A and B are shown apart, each in its own frame.
Chain A
């Protein structure tokens, strides 16, 4: 099946720093979604990307849909303590898509 390679697996940063994470795939995706999940909760949708090259912001978050349609990145600027959590990329490949394909997640830890 399809796989999404998400990196880094974890990040230890200082409050106020910028964060960058990305996902790549060997196959084309028609939609890229970025979710954040807190412990014991369901994933919360942060940003949805629908077109190759699209750059979308949501507050301090910015995400881009790669031109090749095989990758996406998420940036978080000026991190704050509530940004702690696990970030997942997810994608739809289209053509009878069978639900979302998820990356393995990036665990963000912010040190005071």
Chain B
């Protein structure tokens, strides 16, 4: 099983809304990631969690707030987003962070900010 599950698949939210994206994996991976992808561009790293601790924040604005409740779950809390934040948000996991390892991606959440 190499499945990373993301919910919801699509999300439309206003600039004053608060919403959360969810990600789940049951492969026993201890590293989980959030990436942002704009149309026709490669994924861009946002956050890295290693053993449930935030290890890397790639200078992401505070309106994006990650959370790792346990080793299988990763959330991304959204508040006061801007229209330019509309993108495909991808979750990924790998055995460990800071290792040369395969990363498996979820299907993504297509976020539209209106």
Contact = CB atoms under 8 A, between A and B. Distances in A.
A pairs with B? yes
Contact of B100 (A35, A40, A92): A92
Size bracket, chain B contacts: 20 to 34
A50 B40 CA distance: 27
Interface stretch (B12-20, B79-87, B101-109): B101-109
B42 A103 contact: yes
Contacts, number: 67
B100 A44 contact: no
Q: Which secondary structure characterizes the binding site on chain B?
A: loop
Contact of B43 (A40, A48, A50, A102): A102
B102 A48 contact: yes
A43 B100 contact: no
14 contacts: A30-B100, A31-B101, A33-B102, A40-B88, A41-B107, A41-B108, A42-B107, A43-B90, A98-B56, A99-B48, A99-B103, A102-B43, A105-B40, A105-B42
Interface of B: 2, 4, 6, 33, 35, 40-43, 45, 48, 56, 58, 88, 90, 92, 97-108, 110
Interface of A: 30-31, 33, 35, 40-45, 48, 50, 86, 88, 90, 92, 94, 96-100, 102-105, 107
